[in-house]
Amino acid sequence: MNQPAFDRAVQAEREQPGFIPWLLAATTPSIRYLTLRRLLGRAEDDAEVQAVRQEMAAIGPIPAILAGQTERGNWAGEHGYYTPKYVSTHWSMTLLAELAADGQDERLRRGVEFMLADTEAGVRKEGHGWVCFWGNLLRYALHCGFEGDPRVARLTDRVARDATEAGWRCRQNDELPCAWGAVRALWGLAAVPVERRSSEVTAAIESGLAFLLGSGHLVEADYPTPGQVHDIWAHVNFPLFYQADILFVLRVLGELGVLSHPGAQPALAWLAARRQADGTWRGASPFRARTWRALADREETDRWVSLHAAIVLGG
């Protein structure tokens, strides 16, 4: 265990005894894996980490989701890679990346191949919008090691153009800049290795951060919108798909290394204040009935949001 992670783990247990054991009691192997790796700082080759990795492939939501995949790489019974929500190919791949499934598994790579082939014409098409979709696709393509693929390079450029040319505008938001879209785009761009980020990608990241933390106020979500702020924003949720909440934004900011930004501080305080007396967070799963049943357990939802909140606040 590296020293900073060890210090955070000790501090967490001093403040909330039993919190980490509660996470490690999860029935979902992915929760235990991410607790070991992200909270406790265990190395990937640690024996316990490797044992949980084997469990992830054998039991729980990852094999349950992959069981629905066809030889083509898409998911059986879908009307297209986008529908039905949230069990068709695009959503299943988004979930598998969130669950830390092995990106080198040939089934995940087959899913990426299917999606890149089916969306190539759309990536090349002029226009803007749907950046939440493109950002998610970029995220799981990079999770599966496709960073050198020319199709992913074009996809990355497409995401960056929504910032630099369209200012995050989206038809689904009455051509106003969309906070959900910007966050999902940053989710994808955050996975681009720093040494491979072009000036356009860097500019897109800076544009997204300025939008989320400057022109809007993260907790109030007073971004341009034709209606009211969606209820999802002010809950802590898992999983989400093209949507975002305050916790998800903070997760992305953490990946980009900018949680110290003044605009993030009210949101960090908001998140810390939502911690329960027992040290956990109460999570919501707004699409529980529409996605894979293996993600339906309510206590596991609490564990998921508690894990991510602890990572954000501990980092």
What pLDDT score does 252 carry? Answer: 98
Residue 83, helix vs strand vs coil: strand
Which residues, in sequence order, are CB contacts of 311 under 8 Å at separation 6+? Answer: 34, 38, 39, 251, 254
Give tens-digit pLDDT for 114-137: 999 999 999 999 999 999 999 999
What pLDDT score does 16 carry? Answer: 73
Domains and CATH numbers, the chain: 3-314 (1.50.10)
What pLDDT score does 10 carry? Answer: 46
Asked if residue 13 has pLDDT above 70, the reply is: no
Other residues' Cβ atoms within 10 Å of the Cβ of residue 194: 10
- Determine the Cα–Cα distance for residues 250 and 240; give it in Å rounded to an integer: 14
Q: How far is CA 107 from CA 62, 89, 103, in A?
A: 11, 12, 9
Mean pLDDT, residues 205-212: 96
Residue 284, helix vs strand vs coil: strand
- Determine the Cα–Cα distance for residues 112 and 143; give it in Å rounded to an integer: 10
| 238: its two tokens | 């898992």
Asked if residue 86 has pLDDT above 90, the reply is: yes
Asked if residue 65 has pLDDT above 70, the reply is: yes
What pLDDT score does 18 carry? Answer: 93
Q: How many residues does the chain have?
A: 315
Asked if residue 19 has pLDDT above 50, the reply is: yes
Q: How far is CA 91 from CA 18, 62, 96, 227, 231, in A?
A: 34, 13, 9, 26, 21
pTM above 0.85, yes or no: yes
What pLDDT score does 17 carry? Answer: 79
Give tens-digit pLDDT for 265-305: 999 999 999 999 999 999 999 999 999 999 999 999 999 99
Mean pLDDT, residues 188-199: 97
Asked if residue 26 has pLDDT above 50, the reply is: yes
Place of tokens 């900018």: 258
- Determine the Cα–Cα distance for residues 137 and 302; give it in Å rounded to an integer: 26
Are the C-beta atoms of 86 and 291 separated by less than 8 Å? yes
Asked if residue 95 has pLDDT above 60, the reply is: yes
